[in-house]
Amino acid sequence: METPTRWHGRLDALGSKEREKLLGTSLSRRFTQLPLWLSHPSNIAAFYGFLISLALLLPYRFGRESASWFTNWIFHSALIMAACLLLGMLSLIIVSLSKRFPVTPPRYILYPMPFVGFGLLAISQTEILSFPPSLIWLLLLLPGPMYVHLSWAPRWRLLCQLEDGVNPFEAMDMSFVDESTAIEEITDGDEELLSVVNDLESE
């Protein structure tokens, strides 16, 4: 069985910009700590659906149909996770065909959306106000699959290439960089300056 960090050893062969593009921001970096089979885009999307399902427990429990709330919650949770999983798989197929590189999703728009949707659902369930169900479910479900489509699915494809020993940036005319050789060229044989640079890198 392959170790989940096999591709980590090949990061040193990439330049800093390439590593930044490959690893992404804090959320994506957390997912890169997982084995590639576990961090498959469909699994990440399904996990988002699971988190949304957990958030729906209270609205379903204290909603209008409290007698059958648990059955409804189980059914709808299964549908949510299945829909997110299929969307994650579809994103990977599209990315595999388009060879698109990851882009940063509009976090200031996507991140608040589930909380707004959850608030609207809670209000609707208590019958204080009524909101269109399509709007509520759009706000709840869109952020996760959108993040997977824009950021994680392309990034996962690049990680798989790196895992196979392929330079994922060849199509962008970015070559693997031997940083130790580059540093030696910059210091021009100055041993004292080279030791200072190595000390800074170790820190």
Written as one letter, the residue type at 88 is G
pLDDT over 50 at 72, yes or no = yes
Residues 143 and 185 both lie in one domain = no
In a domain, residue 92? The reply is: yes
The answer to whether residues 84 and 130 belong to one domain is yes
The pLDDT of residue 182 is 47
Mean pLDDT of the region 32-46: 91
| CA Rg value for the chain | 22
Provide, rounded to the nearest whole percent, the portion of the chain with pLDDT above 70: 71
Q: Which of 26-35, 145-154, 173-182, 185-194 has the highest mean pLDDT?
A: 145-154
What's the confidence (pLDDT) of residue 179? Answer: 43
Please, which pLDDT band fits residue 62 given cuts at 50, 70 and 90?
Answer: confident
Maximum pairwise Cα distance, the chain:
78
The tally of domains found in the chain comes to 2
Domain contains 3: no
How far apart CA 82 and CA 65 sit, in angstroms, is 24
